[in-house]
Chains A and B, each alone.
Chain A
């Protein structure tokens, strides 16, 4: 495990410090793939150079790794001095995109990804639920394009009430504040344009009922029923239902109506995997474990059942991209592509055991 630490002798802005440390890790990871002792040793000259640009006298400076990569490279010694100049981007108002980018085919890929967070009580009532969505871009556009994104959140009759929206720094916040227009000059390549939170009562897309019976000194019997509570036309992929078992359980036996179950002793879990889970269907899994006759004194927590899944071509909130306007002074035509996906976020169901 790698820890990053910051020290201060004044009343510093704590959230800035943490946000910076996370950014630092992000930059190092993008440069060195893995952030660990070895990668720092292997690249210590670049680390020094990066630190110089990332922070000066405790003030974070340029932390955009794409921009940094334009003038701090791992092959620094091979570069001619003359070429190493400050990209104007560093100090530009548009500090996230360099000039002179060229693509033969101008395209932008838009991914709308929604994660469902659910917390269900042991008695089956939904304690809290929300949707955290994000819109990711893969921009392959030449020059300095002006983009405008239109969503259906303001359509009449059908309101998708976004509780809170967070934007990449490229989005003109004051413009959004005044007329809800999302206008921006995109960073090149992959980026997260925006994220939003919808605080609505979501029907848990995969509903779990479980009975976990523990017979002390003898056995644990688990019955889990999973139901797809979404449209029949949709299919949830790569579903994983993780059911906690006592740490001293042994000799597992499983029976499933679909998919397969696996005991993961190091995590004290049974993982029931279902490759493809159509909407409206219901499946069953039974598990049986032995328990030692001598019990450990250690108190065990009550971990919840967690569920993982992805449902493509669909957003729970119903949010859709209405249009993406791309204007560049050279006047090229560019194509936007949109994909939707809904997936599990923090999806927890408490159990009675």
Chain B
């Protein structure tokens, strides 16, 4: 008969029946009932309703029954705290039972009942049990202190249990010592500065004595505790090591690893010329190797730790390469870790064997493993110079297999090999290029592009290759886009004549069509570099690159030290400090290796420090190798440095360069106008979208002269020689789309008043009436200042011209393009929607002439990044004529300077929302092409201001 029958009762009224059985007079029936209850509890049924009945069974002399009742109590006491009090008496009584098993059972269970009211009652029994004559009870009571501390730390301290626990370290029984150490360590972990484990040479001696006598688990507690001790000097350190080394022969892997931890840590203090130091190093290797015969999970933990140990002390395992060779039946996690260690141990002495193995692995079927093997070949090439050539030829062999992921991995590592050994293996580029089409992973694509750019001068069709990538530019990942941008710029600098178009294309793709700030920044940097000083650009972009370091993935030394202190623990498996994954205070304490004894007896004393002397600290490249590679490649400061901090602007209100397009467009004044800022676009859209927009309406505006504006030039301006330019009307809403209503129009600014000039034509058969107009929210808050004045009905074939005055006090929303206006027109037939674009000059206010001094200060104050440069071609005006013409559109010339036959006009514009735009126009006599530099805190408007310049000057 087995216990499984207890799980089968599922009938209705079960609780009721159980209740009756629990209260039965027959002992056997009672016990059966409790078993049923526990079975129900085990499978997750709620049997808490039986609490009083079960607790009633507690007073029994049957040990098995008692254990079951205690089990029940542990589970339900928390949900029934009031009733749990009922159990207190029995606990207290059981703690005095003649049978030590019962005393221990009581004290063990007590600690698991996490009810405040009860814990107080338990202090006295616990105190007695801590001094019990039976070690079994004492060792259980020691653990109970840790349990109680977890429930109520203050209570434990107030009751003096911590001192009693400390006394137990000197207990005669090794098991009690071990549990006391475990409990104290646990408590100390939550009180990092409590100095609870007041370790001194005397206590250490006691621990080392107990180490020889306690169980394997007790040995681990003691070793882990020892690892927290810092010996006073190298002699004490050595004597502890001597007493710990025998543990390396323990059959339990965990004992071995904990001993390794103590030794690795204390070794740090031993002078390297000490014979014992060498002996100890030799003793460490065999047990580490034996760990590889353990069960797979333990093997994995061991391998992760060996990975740390070989980084800290490569000499320990340098002759043990073979044991890390991968076996066919190793689990994949063991395989990958072995591979990692193989690379770390690779040296000139063993590289031939390692390469043969890696090649074997690269033809396996497990994709992750194969990839890592291919990568490992590349890492060997970088690590062991003598092997580079063989590695490259092995990689080429692998590329010939045409196995897609093998090819891609190979290309990624070959890129690194080029970085390590420039001008050595470039003959293989042709082979690489053959595989261009098969690359579908970003990393491989980026690597290939880098190679093409870097060696553009040796690849005849480099431009074609790069151009082929450019077609799908926006579908590429950032990594590829960045690499493509850099590669094309390199190509351009190397072969400028044929590739001008290509470089322009990529620059505009990167700067204008991308939402990615990194890409845009890099694009702008190149753009600026190329346009200002191509020679400098060459020096920067094609600069000699530093060779990459042989180890790209070493753990950073301080972290490595901390992890060495955590050998065997989860931290050593994750390769992360405990603070990275442990919640609360437990992980906060950072462990450090002790400093080597600086007693001066060794020649190495100047090296006294955190890391071992005479070992050059390995160069470490952070794991984002690619990003860094790119930066090195560029030889530029990190992108953040290129974004200057934005000073609070002077009179024009705060302009946040990055703070979203809307805010930067609104300025101070429009804050009050705006009101509805809800849909503020993201930073990306704000910065990126604006320059990209080439408004079709403006761009294609016919360049017919339009002096019409003169008619309306009713003063307001200060003696304007020419009026503002008004473009001719264009069709905004074709009749086809609006049931016969055709709307054409244009915009004008007349004497400070913004007007929308509309022509409404009825091309339908019936009369149109009831006209009304409305604007959607737009970038500058344009809104009708009055109703649409169409007083008479519009007969078929009739056209009526209307001028609608506009205000800039409407709701604001950043539009795309910036000057886009969405309009709804209603008549008796329907509502029609169209959008049109207005010239930004509409918003140039009449008092836009800035003080000279203010201009100078502002120009300096606006970051250079915000400067945009444009060419205005084919203008046959002298500077004065141009200046006059521009003033008609409220573009004011503040000053003019002539340097070496070149006129420089300094001009200012103020927008309706108080944004100032500053400009410098350079006009060379005899040259019809003007150069216009525009600076503005909201750089997205520059493009549109430039368009106004061009429109005004050409008309």
Complexed CA–CA distance, A71 and B100 (Å): 12
Q: Is A15's CB under 8 angstroms from B327's CB?
A: no
Q: A11-B586, A56-B108 are in contact. Are A19 and B143 (CB under 8 A)?
A: no
Complexed CA–CA distance, A195 and B179 (Å): 28
Complexed CA–CA distance, A60 and B221 (Å): 10
Considering residues A19, A64, A93, A128, which has the most beta carbons from chain B within 10 angstroms of its beta carbon? A19
Contacting residues, chain B, for A77 (C-beta < 8 A): 31, 62, 64
Complexed CA–CA distance, A121 and B39 (Å): 55
B251 at the interface (CB under 8 A from A): yes
Interface residue stretch chosen among B363-371, B820-828, B847-855, B900-908:
B363-371
Complexed CA–CA distance, A167 and B365 (Å): 39
A146 at the interface (CB under 8 A from B): no
Contacting residues, chain A, for B99 (C-beta < 8 A): 81, 84-85
B832 at the interface (CB under 8 A from A): no
Interface residue stretch chosen among B76-84, B252-260, B614-622:
B252-260
Closest to A63 in B: B217
Shortest Cβ distance from residue A11 to the other chain B in the assembled complex, whole angstroms: 4
8 Å CB contact of A19 from B4, B38, B111, B254: B254
8 Å CB contact of A11 from B214, B353, B582: B582
Contacting residues, chain A, for B933 (C-beta < 8 A): none
Q: Is B2's CB under 8 angstroms from A11's CB?
A: no
Within 8 A of B (CB), among A1-32: 8-16, 18-20, 22
Q: Is A14's CB under 8 angstroms from B251's CB?
A: no
Q: Is B587's CB under 8 angstroms from A13's CB?
A: no
Q: Is A45's CB under 8 angstroms from B328's CB?
A: no
Q: Is A86's CB under 8 angstroms from B356's CB?
A: no
B422 at the interface (CB under 8 A from A): no
Contacting residues, chain A, for B254 (C-beta < 8 A): 13, 15-16, 18-20
Complexed CA–CA distance, A38 and B71 (Å): 21
Q: SS class of chain B's interface: helix, strand, loop or mixed?
A: helix
Contacting residues, chain A, for B140 (C-beta < 8 A): 56
Complexed CA–CA distance, A76 and B35 (Å): 13
Complexed CA–CA distance, A130 and B293 (Å): 11
Shortest Cβ distance from residue A177 to the other chain B in the assembled complex, whole angstroms: 4
Interface footprint category on A: 35 or more
Contacting residues, chain A, for B105 (C-beta < 8 A): 52
Closest to B576 in A: A11
Q: SS class of chain A's interface: helix, strand, loop or mixed?
A: mixed
Q: Is B143's CB under 8 angstroms from A59's CB?
A: yes
Complexed CA–CA distance, A185 and B38 (Å): 41
Contacting residues, chain B, for A303 (C-beta < 8 A): 328
Q: A11-B582, A15-B257, A48-B71 are in contact. Are A59 and B289 (CB under 8 A)?
A: no
Q: Is A14's CB under 8 angstroms from B301's CB?
A: yes
8 Å CB contact of A169 from B104, B215, B301: B215
Complexed CA–CA distance, A199 and B214 (Å): 31
Complexed CA–CA distance, A306 and B677 (Å): 74
A112 at the interface (CB under 8 A from B): no
A293 at the interface (CB under 8 A from B): no
Q: Is A164's CB under 8 angstroms from B301's CB?
A: no
Within 8 A of A (CB), among B793-849: none
Interface residue stretch chosen among A210-218, A231-239, A272-280, A294-302:
A294-302
A323 at the interface (CB under 8 A from B): no
Chain B residues with CB under 8 Å of chain A are: 2-4, 6-7, 31, 35, 38-39, 42, 61-64, 67-68, 71, 99-101, 104-105, 108, 111, 134-136, 139-140, 143, 146-147, 173-176, 179, 182-183, 186, 189, 212-217, 220-221, 224, 243, 245-247, 249-254, 257-258, 286-287, 289-290, 293, 295, 297-298, 301-302, 322-323, 325, 327-329, 353, 356-357, 360, 363-366, 566, 568-573, 578, 581-583, 586-587
23 pairs from A and B in contact (CB 8 Å cutoff): A14-B569, A15-B253, A18-B298, A18-B301, A19-B254, A41-B7, A42-B3, A48-B67, A56-B143, A59-B179, A60-B217, A61-B215, A76-B63, A76-B64, A77-B31, A91-B134, A91-B135, A93-B214, A130-B323, A164-B286, A166-B249, A199-B289, A346-B329
Chain A residues with CB under 8 Å of chain B are: 8-16, 18-20, 22, 38, 41-45, 48-49, 52, 56-57, 59-64, 71, 76-77, 81, 84-86, 90-91, 93, 95, 119, 121-122, 127-128, 130, 132, 163-169, 172-174, 176-177, 192, 194-195, 197, 199, 299-304, 346, 348, 350
In order of increasing CB-CB distance, the 9 nearest A-B pairs are: A164-B286, A42-B2, A173-B246, A11-B578, A91-B135, A60-B217, A15-B254, A128-B322, A177-B246
